Structure 1
Amino acid sequence: MPIEIVEGDIADQPDLDAVVNAANAQLMPGGGVAGALHRAAGPQLAEACRPLAPIEPGQAVVTEGFALPNAWVIHALGPRYGIDNPSDELLAAAYRNILKAAANNGIRSIGCPALSAGAFGYPLEEAARIAVETVQQHAPAELVFRFVLFDGKTKDVFSRLVE
């Protein structure tokens, strides 16, 4: 299974079936990834999310992509570090549930941010290790999984782990 690591805009991955929203529990627009995806997808995304909320840390749900170049958005809630415990198990569960959602919807390629490593305060090295190990262990061979990361430092940490 190919794991790709890129620095870029999660809302601009036109060659992928799905992108992952680093969602909040209410699945509503916010800052960071959630804000970018909701702005790019249009107001229909928030409408589609409303009946699916709230979700718990570790959960993932799927909606259409609407105005995004992707057919699907997988909304996953990572843990808030030091608040949602056990944080490591919940973060791994979020990635496993992303993969389950992909399998259940025929998704063959995914772009995913570094869940919980931003505003949720998860230490980057540990968040990256859990992300890469979980995807390597649980993703099917035919799936293309691309980590779409917002800066060079984050990309470097993920790249070291994949090599």
Structure 2
Amino acid sequence: MHTSKLEFKTIDITTIECDCIVNAANRTLLGGGGVDGAIHRAEGPKLLEECRSLHGCKTGEAKITKGYNLPAKYIIHTVGPVYSGSPSDEINLTNCYKNSLGLAKKKNLHTIAFSAISTGVYGYPFDEAAKVALDTSANWLTENSDYRMEILLTCFDDRVYKSYSNYLKNYSGNNKYLSNLK
């Protein structure tokens, strides 16, 4: 039996062959800048058409579409918080990861690649976002130990990669998924 795993690497999320990728979408789900725009451009008009039928998405929630022309079978769209420095930012970002993973499990998907949610134009500080992404993903794997899931946290540049690496250098907890990354 395959075991679950958590990893991160610098890679273009639109090129990953997996069950699903997670798009850092805006509330309309109709495309935009950053990774959202890249995914919509790479896929084509069918994605936009399906996204229109979903009638948007609230911050922290997740919705799923087909992958169409992408190597991934599905796209999970989640809306991260626009960073304000309030405690609700971390709650909403945590919910993006939890709800995306929960939706993937509900659809019986076992490989998922996340973009660095909210770190682009939404302004979430890289180091804080890395902590949320790594902790939430690792805790989800522990809480769902009966379900095999391979999680890839994609990095669009060295700043994101360094944020993940720096968090792990200082990690002193006992989550086996994070300890194995060190």
| Same fold, judged at TM 0.5 (above) | yes
Larger radius of gyration: 2
For 1:127 and 1:19, how far apart are their aligned partners in 2? 18
Q: State the Cα distance separating 1:41 from its structure 2 match.
A: 1.2
Shift of 1:65: 0.3
Equivalent residue number for residue 5 of structure 1: 8
TM-superposed CA distance for 1:159, in Å, is 2.8
How many Å apart are 1:84 and its aligned residue? 7.9
CA RMSD of aligned residues (A): 1.5
Cα distance in structure 1, aligned partners of 2:76 and 2:37: 14
CA deviations 1:1-49 (Å, max 9, x no partner) are 31111101010002x1110110000001211111111111111001111
Runs of 4+ in 1 over 2 A off after TM superposition: 159-163
Aligned residues: 162
Query: Which blocks of at least 5 consecutive residues in structure 2 are unaligned?
Result: 169-177
Q: Give the alignment's TM-score, normalised by structure 2.
A: 0.84
Q: Secondary structure at the match of 1:110?
A: strand
Distance 1:5 1:96 in 2: 17
Corresponding position of 1:108: 110
- Please state whether the residue corresponding to 1:28 is helix, strand or coil: coil
Between 16-25 and 138-147, the greater mean CA deviation after superposition: 138-147
Displacement of 1:85? 6.1
Q: Which residue does the alignment assign to 1:146?
A: 152
**Amino acid of the structure 2 residue aligned with 1:133:** D
Say whether residues 1:157 and 2:163 are aligned partners.
yes
Note the C-alpha offset of 1:53: 2.5
